[in-house]
Amino acid sequence: MTVVFILWLREVKKYLRSRVQIVASLGGPLMYLGVLGFGLGPVFRRAGEGSYLQFMAPGVIGMTVLFTAMFSGIAMLWDRQFGFLKETLVAPVPRLAIMIGRTLGGATVAVLQGTLIFVVTLIAGFRPASLLAVPLAFLVIALIAVIFSALATAIGSSLKEMQGFQMVMNFLVMPTFFLSGAIYPLEGLPKVLGALTRVDPLTYGVDGVRGLLIGRTHFGVALDVAVLVGVGVLFVLFGAWRFSKIEA
């Protein structure tokens, strides 16, 4: 438990000290909120769907958590390059504890970043349907963070070069975001696209957060949480297996 806490604390401290990273990470969400949220708002209202800002704010939060959690895999590649990972692996502690510490650290950073974006959405005009649902929504956000932080750990354990991770970002992370229903409703999609959204874990995360914050859900919050818990267990086990095979 001491190793888990130390690695978790290291990731959180590194995030809190990087003010430039915190500010720079606001760029993407602000663009989506400003350009899409307000730009497509009139179109969304004329289609009878209500406020587009209300609809997409949970999706932007989910996007932020996804990107931040996945970038924790890059941190592992940096640690490998500069020798910190090797020093950690040769320590007389189980690799599972190291993996859990890194995964929880990456997930915590993702939740902190998601919290910051949530505050930004409130400033932009987003209003949750109930303040009591906000803590429950952040439990779903935490599940999203753990899932993709564990996936990032698995990918980071499998790659040795930074260029490989950039390809993963382009061919895995962006489709995961765009298929999640973060910026468009899931109702009435073509069959192929609808099937793809159902195998995307982020779809259930965004749907769960949206259901809790504004009361609009496609699958139902109970199913969303059940899927997220199941996928989370699988990804953590997969991440632990890949990390056990890592060579610094």
% of the chain exceeding 70 in pLDDT? 83
State pLDDT tens for residues 150-165. 998 888 877 777 677 7
Q: Tell how many helices (H) and how many strands (E) occur in the chain.
A: 15, 0
228, 144 in Cβ contact below 8 A?
yes
Please give the pLDDT value at position 105: 87
DSSP three-state, residue 91? coil
Which pLDDT score is estimated for 36?
73
Distances 107 to 11, 45, 53, 64, 71 between C-alpha atoms, Å: 10, 35, 26, 12, 10
pLDDT in tens, 84-130: 666 666 666 777 787 888 888 889 999 999 999 999 899 888 999 88
Measured on CA atoms in the order 173, 209, 139, 129, is the torsion positive or negative?
A: positive
Q: With cut-offs at 50, 70 and 90, classify the pLDDT of residue 3.
A: low
- In DSSP notation, 121-161 reads HHHHT---S-TTHHHHHHHHHHHHHHHHHHHHHHHHHH--S
Cα 129 to Cα 50: distance, rounded to the nearest angstrom: 14
Highest mean pLDDT: which of 38-47, 69-78, 151-160? 151-160
